[in-house]
Amino acid sequence: MSHFLFGAATSAYQIEGAASEDGRGLSIWDVFARKPGAIADGSTGDVACDHYHRYSEDIALMRWLGLQAYRFSVAWPRILPEGRGRINPKGLAFYDRLVDALLEAGITPFLTLYHWDLPWALEEQGGWRSRETAHAFAEYAEIVGRALGDRVPSFATLNEPWCSAFLGHWTGEHAPGEKNLEAALKAAHHLLLGHGLAVEALRAAGVKEVGLVLNFAPVYGEDEEAVKRADIYHNRFFLDPVLGRGYPESPFLNPPPMPIQEGDLEIIARPIDFLGVNYYSRARVARGEGLYPVRYLPPENPVTDMGWEVYPQGLYDLLKRLARETSMPLYITENGAAYPDRWQGEEVVEDPERVAYLRDHLEAAFRAKAEGVDLRGYFVWSLLDNFEWAFGYTKRFGIVYVDYPTQRRIPKRSAHWYREWIKAQLVSR
Ligand code: FCB
């Protein structure tokens, strides 16, 4: 069990709040959340968990939990309110304080540079559809790398570029809310190019470990062609180029061209030190129709409050496959479940389904690890209930309940369970 870290994950826009404080610029999510109908409960991240002001209290919670690591993201528009150029020292100072407080608590910070909150000023210049945004991202990476790389050992460039590209530009469920496959494919390529350029920038800044966080959904089904297509879409589209294999064949019929320039694939394939794996569920598919001829089949097992099938075996299958195909050190950078938790003044919020979910997924992960998978850590999503993107505050993923009107934090049973589980693992080392 050496080298294994137990942690929890969050992201800036989902928890920080303080949206117009200390010189923070606007992000695409500030603007998107204000579009009528974009967010289920009409909410925004303006206040969220008020973590910007309550980070000390939240670190005390992490300490109580016995976390060894904490994965958070930096808000690009806090650091560079216009996306590039002018640096906002107060923005950097917040993460400086956060990192120092984590280190003081004995918790290793894992930093993600981009968890979806693109500065609005860059969106106005084309956002990820524009190649320039990849360069702007590398500049931002270097600034944060130089400021925090001396204390933060591990940097991830992007969180789930699949969501940024496809949910942001094709299905329109996420910011910036476009519905255009050509825009999505441009965004996908520029996100990856930005990743590659940022890897170089972070190395130049002296950052120790650099990685990338991708979301995966192992695909199951009878129809080979549908399985292959969905597998490319969910699991290979971003990974293959990063591994130096170039893009897989397109999962789309008659796809619009991608803006690949000479040398891009080499930049994208710059070696990284770890792969972050986000896993929530699997996909079951059959042949479908249209641009992306895949049909999703109904779950065979109970689902979470997101409607996502609970399928721990999928995590095991995924880890084994990634170990085989990438031979890279792996971290589970997100895994967890939403359930409709209620708090009525008790000391503990009972969430038996989440306890079972976490236990079964941790067991699946450890089974893979015992069979030789180079798994280095596990981060539960999420430390706190938070702003769940298009679902607003209607979905609760936290192991700690947040009573939004009072901002009180109440550990759920799953937090107590995780705490005991971590303790037991440390003893058995
Ligand atoms: C992932 C996101 C994270 C959270 C979970 C539920 O796709 O990275 O921010 O929303 O899903």
| CATH code (residue 273) | 3.20.20.80
Quote the pLDDT of residue 407. 98
305 lines ligand 1 (CB under 6 A): no
Q: Is 64 annotated as a binding residue?
A: no
Ligand 1 atom closest to Cα of 215?
7
Report residues of the chain scoring pLDDT below 50: 1
Using the mean position of ligand 1's atoms as its centre, give its distance from the Cα of residue 336 in Å: 9
pLDDT at 429: 67
Judge if the beta carbon of residue 159 lies within 6 A of ligand 1.
yes
Alpha-carbon gap, residue 289 to 318, rounded angstroms: 27
Q: How many domains does the chain have?
A: 1
Q: Is 334 a catalytic residue?
A: yes
Closest to 267 (Cα-Cα) out of 156, 192, 164: 192
pLDDT at position 426: 85
Residue nearest to atom 10 of ligand 1 (CA): 388
- Exposed e or buried b for every residue in 206-242, given b needs 16+ CB within 10 A? ebeebbbbbbbbbbbbeeeebbbbbbbbbbbbbbbbb
Catalytic residue among 160, 178, 309, 353: 160
pLDDT score, position 2? 54
371 as an active site residue: the answer is no
Which structural domain range is residue 380 located in?
5-427
Supply the pLDDT for residue 3.
77
Ligand 1 atom nearest to CA at 338: 6
Determine the atom of ligand 1 nearest the C-alpha atom of 159: 8
Do the Cβ atoms of 217 and 282 come closer than 8 Å? yes
